[in-house]
Structure 1
């Protein structure tokens, strides 16, 4: 037997879509306030997922931009009690560090999540040959090791 409401979308799906739309259109100056409002939603996993999408989009857009640091600092204050979001922002910051040629450690790279290692091995923002070599040798998954090896071969052919 089917429910008379079987075709209705759950309320959190509608809120999720509205939040995504609002975060896509929000002015830069109002972004952090909107993120804080989304994170107050009673459905924590949905709110985290929504903000995670914004975080990934904005971090990718700002990765080598000087605005990244201030944006990340402001966002850190709002997401401080959200473990997943805090980790993701930390890893985007590490990816930025590598992309800009700033100091990083092998432990940071090899201890990072599978997601981060895939990003570092496949990003179009040229990661350091040292990072790619480390991932080609010590990446956690075969996919990461292969991607890093392929990036290194591509670099060698381009030079």
Structure 2
């Protein structure tokens, strides 16, 4: 099914599922074009939601691989007019830096969303977990981080 066929369906739930299906099957060279076209759907909330799911799936798969940076740069261009998607992509890049122990700034982590703080608190970077145990945004984040620190010290 192509994008114009998907758009003919008035039901946004059907379009959402069809977009997810198309995005899950897209070849790497066509991915950015498809993301850009999905983001032109008249139902912007649904379109951004479909792209967010795709972005999260791809970033989870790619973040530890060398191809992540080129992918993230291309995806940043496709999502530039969509602040939430652009922010999520930046947060995936910060998560990548923390997970791979590349340079990162504690203030960037503390300024990040609950989503990233919770994901990082459940991770393996002791420095990041310590930052979140002390100053994470929510009680849940601080507790998750403290629990992680306790598991690390028992190992």
Q: TM-score, normalised by structure 1?
A: 0.89
TM-fit CA distance, 1:49: 0.2
Partner of 1:76: 76
1:4 maps to: none
Give unpaired runs (5+ residues) of structure 2.
1-8
Which residue in 2 is equivalent to 1:60? 60
> 1:3-14 maps to which residues of 2 (within 5 A)?
11-14=11-14
Q: TM-score, normalised by structure 2?
A: 0.91
1:31 aligns with 2:18: no
State how many pairs are aligned.
Answer: 147
In the alignment, the residues of structure 1 paired with residue 107 and residue 10 of structure 2 have an alpha-carbon distance, to the nearest angstrom, of: 43
Q: Which of structures 1 and 2 has the bigger CA Rg?
A: 1
Task: Quote how far apart the aligned CAs of 1:151 are.
Answer: 1.1
- SS of the equivalent of 1:45 reads helix
Task: Detail structure 1 runs of 4+ shifted over 4 Å in the superposition.
Answer: none
Measure, in 1, the Cα distance between the counterparts of 2:24 and 2:106.
Answer: 35
The one-character-per-residue Cα deviations of 1:90-129 (angstroms, maximum 9, x if unpaired) are 0000000111111111210111111110111114xx2x21
Aligned to 1:96: 96
Q: Distance in 2 between matches of 1:122 and 1:133?
A: 11
Please list every run of 5 or more consecutive structure 1 residues that lacks an aligned counterpart in the other structure. Answer: 1-8
Distance 1:145 1:71 in 2: 32
Q: Please show how residues 1-159 of structure 1 align to structure 2 within 5 Å.
A: 11-123=11-123, 126=124, 128-158=125-155
CA distance in 2: counterparts of 1:157 and 1:63, whole angstroms: 28
Whole-angstrom distance in 2 between the partners of 1:14 and 1:99: 36
Compute the displacement of 1:10 (Å): 5.7
Q: What is the Cα-based RMSD across aligned positions, in Å?
A: 1.3
Task: Give secondary structure in 2 for the equivalent of 1:112.
Answer: coil
